Structure 1
Amino acid sequence: MTEQLTEARTRVHDVDALRGFALLGIFIVNITFMASGYPGSLVTDPAFSSPFDDVVRALSSVFVDMKFYLLFSFLFGYSFTLQVEAAARAGAAFAPRMLRRIAGLFALGVLHIVLLYGGDILTTYAVVCLVLFWMRGVRDRTALRVAVIVYGVVLLSALASGLFLDRSAFVPSGAEALANAEHSTNALLGGWGDVIGEHLDGLSLLFLQSVSLQGPAGLAMFLLGMVAGRRRLFSSVRGDEPILRRLQWIGFPVGIAGGVTYALGGGNGNTLAVAASIATAPLLTAAYVATLLRVMHHPRTAFVRDALAPAGRIALTNYLAQALFGLLVFTGVGLGLAGTFSPLATTGLAAGFFAVQLAGSAWWLRRFRYGPAEWLLRWITNARRPAWRVA
């Protein structure tokens, strides 16, 4: 009972709510890859190529793509500091606890890739967290410098690739990409063997993305989040801080301009367009965070935090549940609806299921202390089985 009360007092509900908000954006992106083989092949499904479909995809490119991954990574780094504090409160050595946690996260990621969804981020997070673990003793100034340098290298690499590399030597032609996309979609419509095979076939692309973009960008955000956590950035937010308005005034115009450039430039199919998004996405992400903090701390809209926080508190369970939902809806293991949803329908389905997750998370946490995945990861971390039900 004492442990439960201590944990309740030390939770930062703004962080939980921001994590819940990030889950929605991540799902809106991920579900497009769950629903069809065309996005992963960087081509448009001919069945959904109307101007309206193009507008929906463009809106996602401007306002969603790459933004919520950065937020989720930042919050991962913030939560790393909470793990440090939890070990200190328990009088336990941090290193073995954290290394067990990283190993558990990696194992869950491997199972996620094989069984549920090939576009996993958990394995990348686990590997990059080893770097964060190694750097945990650096000063804030050093962490910030490394974050800027790493993110700068990611941006410069994208610019150099766009300017000097011949993509035709690496990227399939239009006809070949369409054939690959159709093959991937048909594989999703198969049974377990076909679906698992499709997930494993995407490992090379997942590895390339992790090494070139998601891993380094994630590390930069981890480090920024670690510094924010050390300084307890979200522990005393009021919602009326001038910095929040400045982030909105700067982040929205610059971030949206970069998103428009990314969308009009061809999205992930154009490396220079990707570079524009890499350069500006952090500012739009910061503007989202500032806006949500102002909303959550306004008396009339404080209910937003209460709605989002439970989903963010069991984010790992909800992340895995989203993949399971996609598996059961789109693949031949379930309903076999891959290739039948328009961009708008796919986004609507993601929003609808997320609404169910909000209600389900609140219901669950009134009865249980942790989500199933969090409970298992906590058991691995602490090397002892945690209590399950709310006392």
Structure 2
Amino acid sequence: MNVIRSDRQGHRRPGSSSEDTGTDGARINVVDALRGSALLLILLVNVAFFSSGFDFHLVDDPARGALDLLVAGLVELLFAMKAYLLFSFLFGYSFTLQLDSAARRGVAFGPAFLRRLSGLFVLGVLHAVLLFHGDILTTYALLGLVLFAVRRIETRTALLAAAAIVGVIAFVVGLAAVLGATLVPDEAAALTDGARSTLALRGGPGAVVLEHLRSMPAMLGGLAVQGPLAFAAFLVGLAAGRHQLLAAVPAHGTLLRRCERVGYPVGLAGAIVFAVGGGTANLTGLMVSIVTAPFLAAAYAATLLRLFTRWSRVADAFAPAGRMALTNYLGQSLVCVLVFTGVGLGLVGRTAPAQTLLIALLIFVTQMLASSWWLRRFRYGPVEGVLRAWTHGKRTVRWR
């Protein structure tokens, strides 16, 4: 495999084959780096659901002290409802790169993309049952069908549709709050369920899988909000891809600074209301976050893009993890299962939020190093290679 270095415009020179390439066939380094950053943020949010059975039931572990609640609250404030929006934006952006790649090579896009989505769906089902009941891959696979169906949508229409989706979901959640609906109608029962879930996750493989299956209805209910918002981010990513926003980041400096100037005050204000109000357990705070989280996610993206273009070595450090995003996403869940559940060390319910975050950071740093090592030897990540073979109907994977 050829060694490739970043240039100043955020591209990678030819030598790496992938769908995430610009119109000249060169891999776009900042796309990979931004995806790697999104993976870290997602892990910082998701790790709480591995480390405690209470979080999935939207209640705090009663054993937590004030410092624990503060750390957990900061994660809610800064990353919850934002991390997956950034990742979803990149899904939509990469969709445009895949369309361009197919057009350059003169091949039909639809059949391969639909096979890819079917592979993602199967991986997502296995992931949800065996590793993490909060899986997003199945949702992406289903929403990908809708994105494919509207792939010729006008850019302006895509942005208006995204705004409309966010507005409708916020209105419905706000209306539910006004009518007195609540996501935790019986806190005592939720605490009992949280203790039961924690105990179940300390069991062996059978107990862990059974707990994941038991949690499926609640997970599907959460997707009623998360799914449409993810699709709205798809559409924004599609619009950005049409204008090749990430292919020439310095040329869009004014737009990025505007995202920061507006996104941080609006997004952080909404995030404070969201976190102080009880996070996703409170419908009023959730409504505020639905409206304001996209602003903060956009501000994060703008800051990271400016950072990556100014210091290319930082981008180079995050990019390998992003190039192997699917492998690393599944790998994060596997490692967390081995660390927190009874399948491995059984630390569920036994680590403070600060310790849990430290474990997450160690996992991600290890993934960064492992991804860099792997991609110096192979073209694709392990799962990416297998999915690519399925997508293109090949029996073997050309790793080099």
TM-score by length of 2: 0.92
- Within the alignment, does 1:40 sit opposite 2:56 as a pair? yes
CA distance in 1, matches of 2:82, 2:172: 19
CA distance in 2, matches of 1:224, 1:364: 32
Specify the alignment match of 2:95 in structure 1.
80
Root mean square deviation, CA, Å: 1.7
Aligned-residue offset at 1:302: 2.5
Specify the alignment match of 1:134 in structure 2.
149
1:270-327 deviations in Å (ceiling 9; x for gaps):
10001111111111111111111111122xx321101111100110000000000111
CA distance in 1, matches of 2:17, 2:116: 21
Pair 249,386 (structure 1): closer, same or farther in 2 beyond 3 Å: farther
- Within the alignment, does 1:110 sit opposite 2:120 as a pair? no
- Within the alignment, does 1:368 sit opposite 2:378 as a pair? yes
Specify the alignment match of 2:394 in structure 1.
384
Aligned residues of 2:102 and 2:108 also touching (Cα < 8 A): yes
Aligned residues of 2:89 and 2:236 also touching (Cα < 8 A): yes
- Within the alignment, does 1:198 sit opposite 2:211 as a pair? yes
Aligned-residue offset at 1:91: 2.3
Aligned-residue offset at 1:188: 0.4
Specify the alignment match of 2:323 in structure 1.
313
Could you tell me which amino acid in structure 2 is paired with residue 193 of structure 1?
G
Match of 1:350 among 336, 360, 363: 360
Aligned residues of 1:43 and 1:178 also touching (Cα < 8 A): yes
Match of 2:286 among 274, 277, 286: 274
Specify the alignment match of 2:238 in structure 1.
226
Could you tell me which amino acid in structure 2 is paired with residue 369 of structure 1?
R
Structure 2 counterparts to residues 261-340 of structure 1, below 5 A: 261-298=273-310, 301-340=311-350
Aligned residues of 2:274 and 2:288 also touching (Cα < 8 A): yes
Pair 148,46 (structure 1): closer, same or farther in 2 beyond 3 Å: same
CA distance in 2, matches of 1:368, 1:172: 51
Could you tell me which amino acid in structure 1 is paired with residue 186 of structure 2?
S
Aligned residues of 1:378 and 1:386 also touching (Cα < 8 A): no
Could you tell me which amino acid in structure 1 is paired with residue 190 of structure 2?
A
SS of structure 1 residue aligned to 2:228:
helix
Structure 2 counterparts to residues 17-32 of structure 1, below 5 A: 17-32=33-48
CA distance in 1, matches of 2:165, 2:252: 32
CA distance in 2, matches of 1:309, 1:154: 33
SS of structure 2 residue aligned to 1:370:
coil
CA distance in 1, matches of 2:289, 2:318: 27
Specify the alignment match of 1:174 in structure 2.
187
Could you tell me which amino acid in structure 2 is paired with residue 283 of structure 1?
F
SS of structure 1 residue aligned to 2:249:
coil
Q: More deviation in 239-248 or 359-368?
A: 239-248
TM-score by length of 1: 0.94
Aligned-residue offset at 1:90: 2.9
Specify the alignment match of 1:214 in structure 2.
226
CA distance in 2, matches of 1:91, 1:290: 34
Q: Which runs of 5+ in 2 are unaligned?
A: 3-13
1:164-214 deviations in Å (ceiling 9; x for gaps):
1332xx63412111110010011101111111111111111111111x211
Specify the alignment match of 2:197 in structure 1.
184
Aligned residues of 1:262 and 1:274 also touching (Cα < 8 A): yes
Aligned residues of 2:198 and 2:349 also touching (Cα < 8 A): yes
SS of structure 2 residue aligned to 1:132:
helix
Pair 386,304 (structure 1): closer, same or farther in 2 beyond 3 Å: farther
Specify the alignment match of 1:99 in structure 2.
114
Specify the alignment match of 1:245 in structure 2.
257
Could you tell me which amino acid in structure 2 is paired with residue 356 of structure 1?
T
Aligned residues of 2:57 and 2:190 also touching (Cα < 8 A): yes
CA distance in 2, matches of 1:43, 1:6: 45
Aligned length: 384
- Within the alignment, does 1:157 sit opposite 2:172 as a pair? yes
Could you tell me which amino acid in structure 2 is paired with residue 188 of structure 1?
L
Pair 5,70 (structure 1): closer, same or farther in 2 beyond 3 Å: closer
CA distance in 2, matches of 1:357, 1:105: 21
Could you tell me which amino acid in structure 2 is paired with residue 314 of structure 1?
M
